[in-house]
Amino acid sequence: MQSIVPVRKKAWEASLGGREAAKTALVARLAGWPARLTVPASELPISEEAFLRRMAEDTWRGIAAMVDLETGLPIDHLRFTNGAVDPAHTEIGDYTSTTNIGLYLAAVSGAYHVGLISRDEALARLRAVLATLARLEQYHGFFFNFYDTVSLERTSSLVSFVDSTWLLAGLIVARQTFPELRNPFTADVAHDFSLFYDPRYELMTHGYDVRTHQRSVYHYGTFYTEARLGNLLAIGLGEAPRALWDAMHRTYPASQVANWRGPADAARPGPDRIEKDFFEWHGVRYVPSWGGSMFEALMPTLFLNESRVAPRGLGANDAAHVKVQRQYARRTLGYPVWGMSPCMLPSGHYGEFGASPLGVRGYEAGAVTPHASALALAIAPHAATRNLRALAERYPIYGEYGFYDSVVPASGEVGHVYLMLDQAMTFLALVNRLQDRAIQRTFAADPIVAPVLPMLAVERFFG
């Protein structure tokens, strides 16, 4: 993920009298602002359920605050740069992505499910987003990857497959939760995912560029990544063949892994392209992701109950990835906390981190992010809660809007950033834990999803 600031922003700043006036105007557009940078761990509840409930309340408060009052869209991030919440020294990511919008729609539904907002408030929030979506530039019914939240101009020429997936997932949850909005939400669902499908390799490409009018040359070839949810939905919509599911790599042959220097997930032909095998690390068997991050492994479980539907396949693999993440951080790296996944560092750089044994091409270590532990709540709830508490007790990483995005265990330095993507993932994971998997149950009931869920159960990774 990268910050995309459109050139026209300079003209907008000038029209308001410069950067300081523009910053003041941006703050005024937001629904809230924190009063203090950190909250002492001593203020957090002791019991597990009360602790998670407090997390959910604080995280939702932050998500609600990071909404543009005029457009109803979530902004990308807030980054406090001088050890305080002074707006003058805060980086405001006043742009959004289709993923941000989709997860926000699901989060509104989640806030209603756990009783943090009324039905009327939820409907008002959703209607505001719908009204703005109708104003955004689209391509054949798809929304672009990034938009400016002030001007609503698109700031990207890419229509992204996975980002479109998360928007679709959010629309599905919202229309199932609030039937009175079903018609407009269904209209936004109506676009053709075959735009991304490459029949040569029977795989989905990363996206479609409207400048070149071509699909990306790169493909989502690795099965155990966040793209698996999008592939399932494309099949459920009837816009990709069932062959897509089988064409993705469960593992790559060792010879190809050792010698390959191509880009991530570029499809490669060959008779051994599909090898339903497993990796093993310290006695733990698993099907690898690309980078070994918790994001790839467990983001789909915000919507899919893989533990129940596919206990011997994806569910078992989810549990194995959590186990290796924990053991690798503690035993190999010597970290006092665990949970590695892409996050924004204290420097403001967005980096990819993971437990390298879990990936075909493992990401490096270096940062721990709380959203990784939140995702693990569906798999190992007690261990994940203990780890979240350890994060809060060891580092100044908990603020008025919940956990910040990252800590570097080697130095103890915290990235005081609220990133909408990671906050929304955290919140949805909390909703599922506190409210009997409400997001998963709502998603599974949709007519697009229900017919294809049995596909998950076919997998038998470990015999």
For residue 271, the SS3 value is: coil
Percent of the chain exceeding pLDDT 70 equals 90
Question: What are the backbone angles phi and psi of residue 30, rounded to the nearest 5°?
Answer: -85, 155
Q: Using CA atoms, how far apart are residues 104 and 346, in angstroms rounded to an integer? A: 24
pLDDT at site 11: 56
Q: Using CA atoms, how far apart are residues 295 and 325, in angstroms rounded to an integer? A: 12
pLDDT at site 462: 67
pLDDT at 274 over 70: no
pLDDT at site 267: 37
For residue 278, what pLDDT band results from cuts at 50, 70 and 90? confident
pLDDT at site 20: 80
Instruction: Note the pLDDT tens digit of each residue in 172-183.
Output: 999 999 999 999
Instruction: Note the pLDDT tens digit of each residue in 389-442.
Output: 999 999 999 999 999 999 999 999 999 999 999 999 999 999 999 999 999 999
Q: How many other C-beta atoms are found inside a 10 Å radius of the C-beta of residue 411?
A: 8
pLDDT at site 275: 44
Closest CA to 371 of 283, 319, 298, 268: 298
Beta strand 207-209 pairing with 406-408: unpaired
What token pair was written down for 42?
Answer: 């001593």
- Could you state, in order of their start, the residue ranges of all structural domains in the chain? 48-457
pLDDT at site 19: 75
Span 48-457: which CATH code?
1.50.10.140
For residue 273, what pLDDT band results from cuts at 50, 70 and 90? very low
pLDDT at site 250: 86
Instruction: Note the pLDDT tens digit of each residue in 23-75.
Output: 889 999 999 999 999 999 999 999 999 999 999 999 999 999 999 999 999 99
User: Are 86 and 134 within 8 A, CB to CB?
Assistant: no
Average pLDDT over residues 295-301: 98
User: Are 244 and 203 within 8 A, CB to CB?
Assistant: yes
Please state which of the ranges 89-93, 108-112, 255-259, 343-347 shows the lowest mean pLDDT: 255-259
Mean pLDDT of the chain: 91
Q: Using CA atoms, how far apart are residues 219 and 203, in angstroms rounded to an integer? A: 6
For residue 139, the SS3 value is: strand
**pTM of the model as a whole:** 0.93
pLDDT at 271 over 60: no
Instruction: Note the pLDDT tens digit of each residue in 77-112.
Output: 999 999 999 999 999 999 999 999 999 999 999 999
Closest CA to 146 of 162, 157, 132: 157
Average pLDDT over residues 343-369: 95
